[in-house]
Chain A
């Protein structure tokens, strides 16, 4: 059974700091990786996707992927109180019979305090 593991937190960082969120996955054939942000009471929102080893930057967000270690992370630079949310890591394989199904981690609660 595919598993995606995240530290549930809460992770608390001061405003302006770097928040580092980590995720490990069990299925070695996984090919696509996503980070979602979910505010309390709202639906998840896709913020980053990464498909190959290395770093991918988008504004204040950087996703990092290491397939050999089965590890994916999300860095949030210059953290703002508005970044306070639950961050969900999601993983899928290349397709085939999975039809793009995502397996989600339990999520990490991030709190950015002024």
Chain B
């Protein structure tokens, strides 16, 4: 069966510090991978998606970046965090149009 791992679960970082969130998928090959952010009381905002190794598409201009160094690994990064980067970050995978499976999420607080 397919599983998705996302870590860490919570993170408190100072403004201007770097960020690295990691997501890995098991039990499937060549999944589509996604990073979403959910601000407090808000909907899900698509940040990045990837259809293959090294293929990253950005949906929203910002100081975040994403990379996919391996087929089932997706990384979200920032060189310098802003207060506005706080939120609930969700990684998800899908195959074709059968909907997403989300990871457990990382709650990021920038202070």
Rounded to whole angstroms, the CA-CA distance of A95 and B42 in the bound complex is 26
Interface string of B19-40 (1 = CB under 8 A from A): 0000000000000101000000
Please state if A45 and B102 are interface contacts (CB–CB under 8 Å).
yes
For the residues of A in contact with B, the DSSP-based class is loop
Interface stretch among A10-18, A57-65, A86-94? A86-94
List residues 59-92 of chain B with CB under 8 A from any CB of chain A.
Answer: 90
Give the number of residue pairs across the A-B interface with Cβ within 8 Å.
Answer: 53
Given contacts A43-B102, A94-B97, A95-B96, contact A107 B43 (CB under 8 A): yes
For the residues of B in contact with A, the DSSP-based class is strand
Given contacts A45-B102, A101-B49, contact A32 B97 (CB under 8 A): yes
Interface residues on A, range: 20 to 34
Interface size on B, residues (CB 8 A): 22
Given contacts A95-B96, A99-B32, A100-B97, contact A43 B90 (CB under 8 A): yes
Given contacts A88-B44, A99-B49, contact A46 B99 (CB under 8 A): yes
Please state if B104 and A100 are interface contacts (CB–CB under 8 Å).
no
